[in-house]
Structure 1
């Protein structure tokens, strides 16, 4: 018969209140949930004091993760724009970027589409000459939006995320890393 694991234990370390669970895992793991609560799982024989040290050492990271979760929740609470509004918006943004790619696209603009997506900001379908943007991108900062537009257009030059792809992105947006960080 399998040994029954004790339930989660509430603890505080480094100013962080967290839920400690002992499991059959190899490493100490920390997770900030969407609601901002913190869960820590540790190997069965790890002491509570070792878990406390682990959390205290990562207190700054936990606070930053909580802030990201708070911003994400606030953004997700905003209603999505209607498709027509979002399509017009991203088409106009695409039209600004298109001239840099007109030659490789043979003078034909890609088809722009929008839809709700939860794990991507945009998708480029090279064979169909189509770029689809997430409706959720509409609520992101303009600098981040332009980054996504350029990112998807660069897939017409490089189909993957190789160093050559990132070099193409950097040609148009030298600050692309800072812009991408706005999406996180």
Structure 2
């Protein structure tokens, strides 16, 4: 198999990162080693002044999967810091269900219980819908109060966790998270192949991905 050129290796890495909304920035500095810094929407790479283009390309290529896997957590931490924290309150407030305001008024704990019930009710039909499309089946689905991510997947146990906060958003957001986690049963990382699998199963996934991006599950 012919070896890819240096420029092509770097271009492919840049494209994979761009698909996840990450811009690649490489700059030569007076440093001894190649340094990587993953920031919201950017992978910053500082390289020694004397390093060759092929060495840069090889180093970046090896770090693409790491950047894709860790960027969601970097984004969540960033937005969590930027979002003003609401004061703890036991007072009732309006409830959003699948993105639509309801006539109910519940306090925070009641909302969690309500959302858990709603998600439990729709999960069987949603997984029945998407598992054949993705071509992967989860052995177990659990719900959890997750503030920095919307879902997670234990590929070895084939166990998927979903955030109880999802019912506050349009149901397509929950469907996207289900598709996303099911696709991890094919690809454990966020490689180009992973995103291609997501897009093949759910062509409009980017709309729902963007809607959830930066949200931290705050209800009140």
* TM class, shorter-length: 0.5 to 0.7
Q: Tell me, what secondary structure is at the counterpart of 1:79?
A: helix
Given that 1:87 and 1:112 are in contact with CA atoms closer than 8 Å, whether structure 2 keeps it comes out as no
Do the aligned residues in 1 keep the contact of 2:134 with 2:179 (CA within 8 Å)? no
Give the match for residue 79 of structure 1: 111
Give structure 2 stretches of 5+ with no counterpart. Answer: 1-80, 87-98, 100-106, 214-220
**Residue 130 of structure 2, aligned match among 87, 90, 97:** 97
Shift of 1:129: 1.3
Tell me if structure 1 keeps the 8 A contact 2:166–2:174.
Answer: yes
Q: Which has the higher contact order (CA 8 A, sep 6+)?
A: 2
**How many residues are matched?**
112
RMSD of aligned C-alpha atoms?
2.7
Given the superposition, is the C-alpha separation of residues 35 and 126 from structure 1 closer, same or farther in structure 2, using an over 3 Å criterion?
Answer: closer
* Correspondence for 1:175: 204
Superposed counterparts of 1:1-184, under 5 Å? 33-34=83-84, 79-80=111-112, 81=114, 83-102=116-135, 104-105=136-137, 109-184=138-213
Note the C-alpha offset of 1:90.
Answer: 2.0
**Distance apart, 1:170 and its partner CA:** 0.5
Q: Which runs of 5+ in 1 are unaligned?
A: 1-30, 37-70
- The superposition leaves residues 64-94 of structure 1 with CA deviations (integer Å, 9 ceiling, x where unpaired) of xxxxxxx9xxxx9681226444223223211
TM superposition shift of 1:130:
0.8
TM-score by length of structure 1 reads: 0.53
Cα 1:156–1:34 change in 2 (3 A) is: same
Q: Is the 8 A contact 1:91 1:112 kept in 2?
A: no
1:53 aligned residue: none
- Highest CA radius of gyration, 1 or 2? 1
1:101 deviates by 4.1
| Contact 2:115/2:165 (8 A) holds in 1 | no
Deviation at 1:123, TM superposition (A): 0.7
For residues 4-63 of structure 1, what are the alpha-carbon distances to aligned partners after superposition, in whole Å with 9 as ceiling and x for unaligned? xxxxxxxxxxxxxxxxxxxxxxxxxxx854269xxxxxxxxxxxxxxxxxxxxxxxxxxx
Task: State how far apart, in whole Å, the 1-side matches of 2:118 and 2:83 are.
Answer: 32
TM-score with structure 2 length normalisation? Answer: 0.45
